[in-house]
Amino acid sequence: MPHRPFLIVAASVVLAALAVAAPASARIIELGVVPTAAAPTCPSSPCLAVSRTTGYQTKTVDDREAFVVPRDGKIVAWSVSLGSPDRRQIAFFDDNYGASSGRLTVLRRGTRLYGRVITQSPIVSLAPYFGQTVQFPLQSALNVKKGYIIGLTVPTWAPALTQLLDDGSSWRASRPKGGCDDTETQTAQSRLGQLTQYRCRYNARLTYSATLITEPRTNAEREERRARRSPG
């Protein structure tokens, strides 16, 4: 049997090795989840819904980065909180816009409020999930890079919008200047590479989020980040 001093030395060597070999872990981040939750309006009157557009949240209360990808990685799921419109409200929207549907859209922002579609999730039917917060796992993850914006595309309509707010929250839609009150013209972005100006801003919140798994950092990246944080 080894002597106790040998055991102590051996244990110290193992612990030191573990300390040096820090795990290169990915992170799971819920983009768009903030402490102050907000509920979609429906079935209240008026029942506000997103229709025929692509939108992204520019500010949630005082947070301008909630839907900005912080690190390269993959979007593996997205979620949406849906209101519970009554039969009369559903009939109105279905008759005017078609059955409720939506998809996640990844955008690369440019100057002058331009946004380019980088990738999108498949379109899903939302009607079966009215009154719920539903998460849709993606069979094929969406590759994203730091700085990309996560948006919501609604080709028809979706009860995924809060009432008008005065807490600083706002979102932008892919509608042209002068067309912010036109909710019937189709402006939803549906083609990869599509470039559009997001000229219309609304003081409300879109009730969606996305699950990001980041790429693990290498030792060199960790050292570089540690050096940047060093006071000198």
pLDDT band at 35 (very low <50, low <70, confident <90, very high): confident
Among residues 136, 138, 154, the alpha carbon closest in space to that of 51 is found at 154
Confidence check: pLDDT of 49 > 90: yes
54 touches 175 (CB < 8 A): no
Cβ atoms within 10 A of the Cβ of 4, count? 8
**The pLDDT of residue 227:** 65
d(CA 215, CA 146) in angstroms, rounded, equals 11
Which residue is associated with the tokens 């110290």?
A: 12
**The pLDDT of residue 18:** 40
Residue 55's contacts (CB-CB under 8 Å, 6 or more residues apart) are 151, 152, 154, 171, 172, 173, 174, 198, 206
pTM: 0.85
DSSP state of 99: S
Residue 73 β-bridge partners = 144, 214
Confidence check: pLDDT of 16 > 90: no
56 touches 207 (CB < 8 A): no
Q: How many helices (H) and strands (E) does the chain have?
A: 3, 12
d(CA 38, CA 34) in angstroms, rounded, equals 9
Element (H, E) at 119: strand 114-120
Confidence check: pLDDT of 11 > 70: no
Handedness of CA 93, 97, 103, 105 (dihedral sign): negative
Among residues 59, 22, 10, 3, the alpha carbon closest in space to that of 221 is found at 22
pLDDT band at 38 (very low <50, low <70, confident <90, very high): confident
* Averaged confidence pLDDT in the chain: 88
pLDDT digits (tens, 9 = 90+) for 126-180: 999 999 999 999 999 999 999 999 999 999 999 999 999 999 999 999 999 999 9
pLDDT digits (tens, 9 = 90+) for 165-184: 999 999 999 999 999 999 99
pLDDT band at 208 (very low <50, low <70, confident <90, very high): very high
Instruction: Compute the average pLDDT of residues 47-55.
Output: 97
